[in-house]
Amino acid sequence: MITAPTIEYFALAPLLIIFGAAIIGVLVEAFAPRYLRRAVHVPLTLLSLVGAFALVILQTVRGVPTTPAAMGSVAVDGPTLFIWGTILVLSFVSVLLINDEEQFVPSAAAVPGSAEEEKAITEGAAHTEVYPLALFAIGGMLLFPASNDLLIMFVALEVMSLPLYLLCGLARRRRLLSQEASVKYFLLGAFSSAFFLYGTALLYGFAGTVDLLGIRERLAVGGGGTETLLLVGTAMLGVGLLFKIGAAPFQAWKPDVYQGAPTPITALMASGTLVAAFGAVLRVFWVALGNDSWNWEPIMWGVAALTMVAGSILAITQTDIKRMLAYSSIAHAGFLLVGVMAVGERGQNALALSGLLFYLVTYGITTVGAFAIVTLVRDPGGEAWHLSRWAGLGKRSPKLAGLFAFFLLAFAGIPLTSGFFGKYAVFRSAVALGEAWLTGLVVLAVVASAAAAFFYVRVIVLMFFSDPSADGPTVVTPSWATSTVVGFSAFATVALGVFPQPVLDLAEKAAKSLFVQ
Amino acid sequence: MGETITFWVLAVVSVSAALGLVFSRKAVYCALMLGVVMLSLAVLYAVQDAPFLAAVQIIVYTGAVMMLFLFVLMLVGVDSSDSLVETIRGQRFWAVVAGLAFAALVALGVGNVVFAPAAGLGAVNAAGNVPSLAELIFTRYVFAFEVTSALLITAALGAMVLAHRERLEQKATQRELSRERFVKYGEEGLDPSPLPGPGTYARANAIDMPALLPDGKISKLSVNRYIARYEAEEGTIDPKVAEILEGEDK
């Protein structure tokens, strides 16, 4: 006789809404006539995101649950709710970008450059499947940082990644590059998932459970002759997770994929996926392996240092605007990893967690804004990807170039932008630990930030202080959706740079209860 | 005792099959080797008191996934082989070094572990292996089980997006095709009838036999160019065919 499981539907409601809307989206694909599909998908997708966000707020107001939901599978706690809210906002603006312009291939099965593709373009064919696929990816992003055992975390990892592999290959222009990006991402992603799975198996061998709390309890007991399983398992699990955040030496996929993917999908990946993956990293390393921190911290130290140095230095050599932003994203992943190591007693953990949450919000919003601007600067063959094409943009289109410059300054962490307070919050928590090795890393991070500022400023100089070429790119008039995205990002970047306290308070409140332990 | 013997026999079989999988140049051999590895694993699972996993391994992996691999190989062409040219110099050497180092690390790591004797397997399997698994899947791990459906839907949707081609115009009818042939005949002088088939003789019936015209000459249209070129390179070409081909080319 099996007793029925208890499912806390209210706690899981944001997830269920997103997955439900995705499945309805698939049914729309199956039954709605072609001309109606987009008209149904757009409100359905946006409303489901708004609904999920409203439910997250409602849960926060009604009190954060203190026990894991769904038989201990999903931990809906303070940090989770904050991360969910962040991902939902970032997804909402990314979906506005996805909806905005014909960024996607009309017929993915047609050979690039063939007459058939030409025909599909003139017929106005479109893959409206991108909406349900994006929703599935967002659902995976929500589940990933909330997973309370390694098994569901693996399933969430796949649910998040599989739609993204597909969406990466659907760019309308430079299709071969896009397909190459998709295949690369798929192969490397599958490889890293295998590492994650092997690590999970070895940790099971150590602890006898895949439950994060179970592993924690087993670690507290110690002994038993199976410590090497713990070490090898931790390393492999780390490879799988660090791949997803794009930390060096697992960063190689990021520039290629960001460059090849349709820009709205790049925006979704650079913001939502990064936030989700960091949530998962924190949960694994703080909850499950928190008692083992002296074992993984030295490796994490090396990874963080390598990531920020590699990201900052390689970004300088880039000539493609999207690749440059990808390397900038790698450098930011390195800065964020500094906060992951700032663990100590409870108050210190809360400080580090709130810093990380705040950083993730500011970086995500600024990134979406920057990629939204990239979609607007066009050459005859698509987006003006080469940096030299951006020369003199400030003289032709000062408003747009000004906004882009502002976003770049936020990436660099100049005061009066949100990026400054993000970096400050993370680095402060690391210094507050008072350990020389971590303070040294913060110094390195500040130096790397300065090096990174060099290439941001180089782009700004290129835009404002060089002459525009006669056949320069055109700046298209943004649609209401893109204008909204750019406006929202710019507003949030200013607001969080001038008056960050409300969001900082919110992050602190979310971080106070820490993860469910 | 039986378990130990099974393990050592299957260890040799599965490891050599896995090595064959890696080193074999022909894709079909690789696929069959993979099948051997999967079957050995299934037997190992069965010996380890996991009958459900053993059955699933055979039904799902060996039976379904493996066959799918083979179908794909057949579709791509059994003879097609991958390009083995290194695009990054020295990549293979360093990959081998890194792979061996990784294997040594894992072997040393896992080999150093002192395992306590397995405890609790009998108690867990007391209610039967399959009912116990069912209880776990539908209680503790029910959410993971349900979320997997999102993965399957994504996979199906993705396959449709990447492979399904909508027909954008009406399929041409027989009548239209026929008209088109005669229009071409009128404009470019292309023969509206099919090409003459290869010859059929009392002693041979093959695509490399040319068809004969009523006067006994060889019809050039019936000669397969690719086969003729191959035969010319091998030196086995029929001199009459070679004469016809040369005569017309100039």
Taking the C-alpha atoms of residue A289 and residue A310, their distance in angstroms, rounded to an integer, is 27
Residue B116 has pLDDT above 60, yes or no: yes
pTM: 0.90
Rounded distance, CA A72 to CA A86, Å? 23
B248 pLDDT above the threshold of 60: no
Are A88 and A53 spatial neighbours (Cβ–Cβ below 8 Å)? Answer: yes
Helices (H) and strands (E) in chain B, counts: 11, 0
User: pLDDT digit string (tens) for B139-160?
Assistant: 999 999 999 999 999 999 999 9
Instruction: Identify the pLDDT of residue B231.
Output: 83
Interface test with A, best of B106, B113, B164 (most A CBs within 10 A): B113
- Report if residue A1 sits inside a domain: no
Tell me the nearest-neighbour CA distance from B162 into chain A, angstroms: 5
| Angle at A67 (CA atoms; ends A154, A21), nearest 5 degrees | 55
Please tell me the distance in Å from A98's CA to the nearest CA on chain B: 17
Q: Determine, for residues B161 and A129 on separate chains, whether the beta-carbon distance falls below 8 Å.
A: yes
Contacts of A365 (CB under 8 A, 6+ apart): A89, A90, A93, A271, A418, A488, A489, A492, A493, A496
So what's the pLDDT on residue B195?
A: 78
Where does a domain end: B21, B49, B78? B78
Choose the final residue of a domain: B78, B98, B115.
B78
The tokens 């997103």 sit on which residue? A18
CB contact under 8 A, B140 and A229: no
Q: Does a structural domain hold residue B170?
A: no
CB contacts, 8 Å: B133 with chain A: none
Which pLDDT band holds residue B247 (cuts at 50, 70, 90)?
Answer: low
Position B56 in a domain: yes
Domain boundary pick from B18, B52, B78: B78
Minimum distance, in Å, between the CA of residue B58 and any CA atom of chain A: 21
Q: How far is CA A402 from CA A102, A323, A327, A458, B54, in A?
A: 25, 21, 22, 14, 63
Cα–Cα separations (whole angstroms), residue A149 to A202, A222, A502, B51: 14, 20, 32, 25
> Looking at the domain assignment, is residue B141 inside a domain?
no
User: In a 10 Å sphere around its CB, with 0-12 CB exposed, 13-18 middle and 19+ buried, how is residue A465 labelled?
Assistant: exposed
**Domain housing A30:** 13-511
**What mean pLDDT do residues B116-125 have?**
80
- B91 contacts chain A (CB < 8 A): no
Task: Provide, as residue numbers in chain B, all residues whose Cβ is less than 8 Å from the Cβ of A166.
Answer: 154, 158, 161-162
**A516 located within any domain:** no
Report in angstroms the alpha-carbon separations of A353 from A152, A285, A299, A502, B207. 23, 12, 20, 16, 74
* Record: contact A3-B115, CB cut-off 8 A: no
Give the whole-number percent of chain B exceeding pLDDT 90: 36
Q: How many domains does chain B have?
A: 2
Q: Give the amino acid at A50.
A: V
A26 three-state secondary structure: helix
Instruction: Round to whole Å and give the CA distance between A337 and A236.
Output: 17
Considering only the C-alpha atoms of chain A, give the largest distance between any 2 of them, rounded to a whole number of Å. Answer: 78
Instruction: Provide the token pair at B22.
Output: 């890696």
The H-assigned helical ranges of A212-345 are 212-221, 227-245, 253-260, 263-268, 274-282, 293-316, 321-340
B119 close to A (CB below 8 A): no
Q: What is the pLDDT of residues B65-115, one digit of tens each?
A: 888 888 888 887 766 666 667 778 888 899 999 999 999 998 998 888 888
Which stretch of DSSP H or E encloses residue A474? strand A474-475
What residues of chain B lie within 8 A of the CB of A4, using their CB? Answer: 139
CB A163 to CB B158 under 8 A? yes
Q: How many domains does chain A have?
A: 1
Which of B135, B142, B154 lies nearest to residue A162, judging by beta carbons? B154
Q: Is A51 exposed, middle or buried (0-12, 13-18, 19+ CB in 10 A)?
A: middle
Give the B window 20-49 contacts with A, CB below 8 Å: none
ipTM score of the complex? 0.92
Return the pLDDT at A101. Answer: 63
Cβ–Cβ gap A71/B140 under 8 Å: yes
Report cis status (omega within 30 of 0) of the bond before A14.
no
Residues sharing a CB contact under 8 Å with residue A24, sequence separation 6 or more, in sequence order: A44
B42: distance to nearest CA of chain A, Å?
Answer: 18
Residue B214 has a pLDDT of: 82
Residues 6+ apart with CB under 8 A from A20: A48
Per-residue model confidence as pLDDT tens digits over B43-52: 999 998 899 9
Which pLDDT value is given to residue B249?
47
Whether residue B147 and residue A19 make contact (CB cut-off 8 A), yes or no, is yes
Residues of chain A with C-beta less than 8 angstroms from the C-beta of B116: 224-225
Query: What is the DSSP annotation of A383-423?
Result: E--BGGGGTTHHHH-HHHHHHHHHHHHHHHT-TTSHHHHHH
Q: Is residue A461 part of a domain?
A: yes
pLDDT at B250 over 50: no
Tell me, yes or no, if B162 comes closer than 8 A to chain A by beta carbon.
yes
> What are the chain B neighbours of A110 within 8 Å (beta carbons)?
165
- Looking at CA atoms only, how far is residue B99 from chain A in angstroms? 14
Instruction: Report chain B residues whose CB lies below 8 A from the CB of A19.
Output: 147, 150
- Between A119, A136, A226, which is nearest B154 by CB? A136
* pLDDT tens per residue across all 517 residues of chain A: 778 899 999 999 999 999 999 999 999 999 999 889 999 999 999 999 999 999 999 999 998 888 888 888 999 999 999 999 999 999 999 999 998 767 898 888 888 888 888 888 888 888 899 999 999 999 999 999 999 999 999 999 999 999 999 999 999 988 999 999 999 999 999 999 999 999 999 999 899 899 999 999 999 887 777 888 999 999 999 999 999 999 989 999 999 999 999 999 999 999 999 999 999 999 999 999 988 888 999 999 999 999 999 999 999 899 999 999 999 999 999 999 999 999 888 889 999 999 999 999 999 999 999 999 999 998 887 888 888 888 888 888 999 999 999 999 999 999 889 999 999 999 999 999 888 999 999 999 999 999 999 889 999 999 999 888 878 888 888 889 999 999 999 999 999 999 999 999 999 988 888 777 6
- A2, part of any domain: no
**Residue B14 domain flag:** yes
> A429 versus B193: which is more confidently predicted?
A429
Instruction: Specify the CATH number for the domain of residue B26.
Output: 1.20.120.1200
Q: How far is A259 from chain B (nearest CA, A)?
A: 20
CA distance A2 to chain B (A): 6
Nearest Cα residue to A159 out of A141, A172, A177: A141
Q: Which domain covers residue B26, as residue numbers?
A: 1-78
SS3 annotation, A150-186: HHHHHHHHHHHHHHHHHHHCCECCCHHHHHHHHHHHH
Contact B166, A116 (CB under 8 A): no
Report if residue B177 sits inside a domain. no
CB contact under 8 A, A71 and B169: no
Q: Which of B110, B113, B151 lies at the smallest CB-CB distance from A162?
A: B151
Minimal CA separation from B140 to chain A, in Å: 5
Q: Which residues of A touch B158 (CB under 8 A)?
A: 133, 162-163, 165-166
* Cβ–Cβ contact B105 with A under 8 A: yes
At B19 the pLDDT is 94
Residues on chain B touching A133 (C-beta within 8 angstroms): 154, 157-158, 161
Which run of H or E residues covers position B150? helix B142-163
Report chain B's C-alpha Rg in angstroms.
Answer: 30
